[in-house]
Amino acid sequence: MSHRLEVRLYRRLPGFTLDVEWTGGEGVAALFGPSGAGKTLTLQCLAGLLRPDAGRIVIDGRVLFDSEAGTDLPPQRRRVGYVFQGYALFPHLSVADNIGFGLRDRPRAEARRRTTEVIARMGLEGLEGRSPRDISGGQRQRVALGRALAPDPALLLLDEPLSALDAPLRSSLRDELRQIPASERVAGIVGIRNVLHGTVLKATADRIQFRWREQLLEAVNSPTRSYLPAPESSLAFFIRPEYVRLIRKDRGTPDPGHHMNLMAGRVVGEADFGTTWTLYFKLDAPGGPAQGDYDLEIEVPRLVYEILEISRDRHWQLSIHRGSIHVLPSA
C-alpha cells in the first residue's frame, strides 16, 4: 500500500525523547496528544526546522530526510507550508511581502501575480501595504495561511493556528480554510471533498460554463480575480457536499429559474455521522463515475434524510447553485 506521507523520527532532547513512526494518505492527518507530547517538534522536523538524530521523511515518493542516506533537504526545498501557532509573521514586512516571501526564487512578474491571487483568495484586498501590527488577529491568521499556501506546497502543516482566536472567529476561519484553497493541490491537502475535473466551454468575467460527466454546468467567476481559461482546456473545481440540494418530489417539475445545474442519479452508498448523513451519489450518465464508485458526496441533515425517506427512495434529481461551484485556477 502506498502512502503520500511516510514519517519516522527519533530525536533526543533534555528530558524528552521524540520517537514516532506513522504514515498518511490523501487529505488531512491530525496529530493528537497532550501538551508536551511532541506534536510541534514533529511538525518542525517535517518542515526542516529541526534535524532528527535519525529517521526518514518521504512525501509523494520524494525523500526529504534520510539519516542513513545522508539526505536532509533545507526548508526552502521541501515544498512544505507551515502555519505557526503564533503565526510568526515578519514584523518589518507588509502583508503583501509576508505572503510573497516564499516566492522570492520565482520571476518577479509571476511572484507578483501569485501574491495578488492569494491576497484575493484570503480576502485581504486593501491591506497589502499594512504591517502585521496594524491588522486584526483574524487578518494576521489569514496572512500566515496565505504565506504558507502561496508556493503551492505539497504538504501544509498547521500548528494550532486557530487557538489564539475567540470561539466565533475560530469557527468561521475553520470553515473558510476549507473554502479558499489556492490550487487543486492545496484543495487535496486540506481535505476538500468533491474535487473534480471538467472541460471549459466558455469563460467570461462573471461566468464559466463547462462540461462535466456529459453535464453542462455553470459557475460564477469572481469579479475580483476573474479566471479566463481557454475553451476546451481542463478545469479543476470543487463542490462542498452540504451545498448540493436534493429536489423534493412532491413539488412538481423543477423550475429552471430556481434550480440550476440540474442533474439526476441515484444514491449508491451512505454514511451516518450523527446529525448528518453523507450520501454517495452516482449520476445517470454514460462513462465511469468521477470518484471511483460515485460522482458526488452530498451532505444532508438527519431530519432531511428522514423526511425525504432517503433510505427507501434512492433515485433523485439534484441542483447546485452556480455560486456553490468553486473553480480552482491553475497555480
Q: What's the rounded Cα separation, in Å, for the pair 129 and 94?
A: 5
Q: By C-alpha distance, which of 282, 284, 277 is closest to 296?
A: 282
Residue-wise pLDDT for 278-317, tens only, equals 999 999 999 999 999 999 999 999 999 999 999 999 999 9
Q: Which residue has the cell 530526510?
A: 65
**What superfamily does domain 5-189 belong to in CATH?**
P-loop containing nucleotide triphosphate hydrolases (3.40.50.300)
Q: What's the rounded Cα separation, in Å, for the pair 240 and 246?
A: 14
Q: Which residue has the cell 431530519?
A: 303
Q: By C-alpha distance, which of 241, 236, 240, 229 is closest to 197?
A: 236
Q: How far is CA 249 from CA 253, 254, 282, 309, in A?
A: 8, 9, 18, 11
Please, which residues bridge with residue 207 across strands? 220
Which class is domain 241-322? mainly beta
What local confidence, expressed as pLDDT, does residue 1 receive?
40
Query: Can you read off the three cell numbers belonging to residue 136?
Result: 486584526
Q: Which residue has the cell 445517470?
A: 284
Query: Can you read off the three cell numbers belonging to residue 198?
Result: 471538467
User: Mind listing the pLDDT tens digit of every residue in the chain (331 residues)?
Assistant: 456 889 999 999 998 999 999 998 766 777 877 778 888 899 999 999 999 999 999 998 999 999 999 999 999 889 898 888 778 899 999 999 999 999 988 999 999 999 998 888 788 889 999 999 999 877 888 899 889 988 888 888 888 766 555 556 556 655 655 555 556 666 665 567 888 999 999 999 889 999 999 999 999 886 555 678 899 999 989 898 888 999 988 877 777 667 889 999 999 999 998 888 999 999 999 999 999 999 999 999 999 999 999 999 999 999 999 988 988 876 5
| C-alpha radius of gyration, the chain, whole number | 22
Query: Can you read off the three cell numbers belonging to residue 170?
Result: 475560530
Q: What's the rounded Cα separation, in Å, for the pair 220 and 243?
A: 14
Q: How far is CA 152 from CA 114, 145, 238, 240, 284, in A?
A: 10, 12, 17, 21, 35
CB-based contacts of 62-70 (< 8 A; 24+ apart in sequence): 62/154
What local confidence, expressed as pLDDT, does residue 8 receive?
96
Burial class (CB in 10 A: 0-12, 13-18, 19+), 271: exposed
Q: Find the helix packing angle between 167-179 and 137-149, rounded to 10°.
A: 30
DSSP calls for 254-276: --TTTS-S-EEEEEEEEEE-SSE
- Find the DSSP H helices in 90-209: 95-99, 108-121, 137-149, 167-179, 184-189
